[in-house]
Chains A and B, each alone.
Chain A
Amino acid sequence: MDTRRNKSNNNKRQKIRQLPEKLAVIGSIILLIIAWVLGGARLSNLETEQLSHLLPENAQIVTTDQSTLKITTNAGQDTQWLSQGSGVGYGGKMDIALMIDDQGVIKQLAILSSRETASYLQKIIAAKFPEQMVGQSINNILQVDAISGATLSSSAILRGANLAAEPVRQELMNLSLVGSRSPWSYFGWMDLVALLAFAAAWQISKTRHPQRKKMEWGLMLTSLVLFGFYASALFSSSTLGILISGTWISGLGNYTPLILLVLTVVTLLSTNKNLYCDMICPFGTTQQCLAKITNPPTVTLKHSIFTWLPRVIFLAVLAAGLYFRNPATIAYEPFGIMFGMTGSIQLFILTFVIILTSLMIYRPWCKTLCPVGAMTDFLKFIKAWGKQGLKDYQRKTKTTSARPANNIPHRSLS
């Protein structure tokens, strides 16, 4: 009897201790939903505003299609077309609007929405990529050389412009030049490598082979080369933003980080093992390689600020990504600089501070700001909470199903 009472008291105490974390989980989910709803309204207003800027004064809309407007100005003497199309860049869908005259010449081009990392878009704008399409005739497929270092974003704009031009091309010239694209065309061999890497990590984690350490290092170095220096396909807070905002459904330039993230979450929830951090993360391997040179000490940061700060930063980044409908809005990971030489000067400084610190402390990024740590904590907590809830529910149902038997009055037994 006493043991049962002690158990129930311990349970109650544990529940009270976990209360701040439970409130933080609920608060985080509510904040993300609010950011998503407000972001949707903002995006819709922004697109309408940008389209209205493209429309000439005293324009009269003659016909409307799903994505194309036929417009007349000068009392119906001049005809123009305002047409929309979308292409898929590195971060997802990019919406493009074109203003085309009745000769089929592009007069204006506007990027209505983008989910690309700011540095890629800056490269494109600095190279005047959209301006190169203005003045081109749509009787041929639009062609502009992609900008080096922002190839996927350039291709997305070009495809969006060609898709926007297609209905006008059909109407004016009775021509159809743009073919449809299969959803499978977005998947590449690196996605298959991601699956194989996880399968290998899973096997290595289970094996008791004497060469296990060497196998781990083999996989880590392969991942460093392939997912790091070759494809720069590490997942980051923006990948999680892409996953929860659902933007991946309309297409992504690169699915590999998303596949790595999904596999990490699945293995974490099903086995409690973080295979990605242990054997696949290229930045983790970089830090570990640097640690091999100097054998630095492992420092455990016990103060609660080191637990909560990365969580708060991660939540803020996710909320901002959902609000701006661009998960890459505030990327704070050093992966872009380390493996792609792309990113802001602040990230550049952060990256080199971490690399140099890795010579003195074991895996400093993983122990401080890495969003994967915060995500892992969140998922593990949710899983434990769910399990506890299920246990409580089962216990309650057991008690209630057992109670009627105990409470049956003696009279009815006879």
Chain B
Amino acid sequence: MFPQSTLLDPPFWMLLGALQVLVFAGAGQWAKHVQLAMNWWKWSLVGGWWFSLLLTIAGAFTLLGENEGNAGWYFLGFVGTGLIVGGAILLKVLFVLNKPAANQS
């Protein structure tokens, strides 16, 4: 990440790791707030989606860093957009699955 420095890389990645904890803790709180009734497989889907998104961003910027500009932008555009649309579908599914449970209570 920081080619000119040997010191900045470890704290940067530690900070990003800590941010992941915050993201998932925040997502858990939000899911409780909107009564999504999350379970292990729902969390697996959400985690898989988030991991794919991060991997896409990382992959695209790696390609850009390797001077493969077109490949980087096209990868980010096609896969990233697909993932955002996929995320919207996943969210819709989570809300739809939650409906009967909400009605029962």
Binding site for B on A (CB under 8 A): 290, 293-294, 341, 345, 348-349, 351-352, 355-356, 359
Contacts and interface: CB of A to CB of B under 8 A. Distances in A.
Contacts of B80: 352
Contact of A293 (B74, B77, B81, B88): B88
A290 B84 CA distance: 11
Given A348-B73, A348-B74, A355-B85, 14 more contacts: A290-B85, A293-B88, A293-B89, A294-B88, A294-B92, A341-B78, A345-B70, A348-B77, A349-B77, A351-B77, A352-B77, A352-B81, A355-B81, A359-B88
B49 to A, nearest CB: 14
Contacts of B84: 356, 359
Nearest to B76: A352
A244 B85 CA distance: 38
> Which residue of B78, B80, B84, B85 has the most chain A CB atoms within 10 A of its CB atom?
B85
Interface in B63-105: 70, 73-74, 77-78, 80-81, 84-85, 88-89, 92
The 6 residue pairs across chains A and B that have the minimum distance between CB atoms = A293-B88, A352-B81, A352-B77, A293-B92, A359-B88, A355-B81
Contacts of B70: 345
Contacts of B92: 293-294
Contacts of B81: 352, 355-356
A355 to B, nearest CB: 5
A293 B85 contact: yes
A341 B70 CA distance: 12
Nearest to A293: B88
Nearest to A351: B77
B43 to A, nearest CB: 21
Contacts of A356: 81, 84
Contacts of B77: 348-349, 351-352
Given A352-B81, A355-B81, A356-B81, A345 B88 contact: no
13 contacts: A293-B88, A293-B89, A294-B88, A341-B78, A348-B73, A348-B74, A348-B77, A349-B77, A351-B77, A352-B77, A352-B80, A355-B81, A359-B85
Contacts of A341: 78
Nearest to A359: B88
Nearest to B81: A352
Contacts of A351: 77
Nearest to A345: B73
B39 to A, nearest CB: 22
A287 to B, nearest CB: 12
A293 B81 CA distance: 14
A349 B78 CA distance: 10
Interface in B29-58: none
- Most chain A beta-carbon neighbours within 10 Å: one of B70, B77, B84, B92: B77
A293 B88 CA distance: 7
A349 to B, nearest CB: 8
B81 to A, nearest CB: 5
Contacts of A293: 85, 88-89, 92
Nearest to A349: B77
A293 B74 CA distance: 24
Nearest to A348: B77
Contacts of A355: 81, 85
Nearest to B93: A293
A349 B74 CA distance: 10
Nearest to A337: B77
A359 B84 CA distance: 10
B60 to A, nearest CB: 13
A345 B77 CA distance: 10
Contacts of B78: 341
B54 to A, nearest CB: 18
A294 B87 CA distance: 11
B91 to A, nearest CB: 8
A348 B78 CA distance: 9
A290 B88 CA distance: 9
A294 B74 CA distance: 25
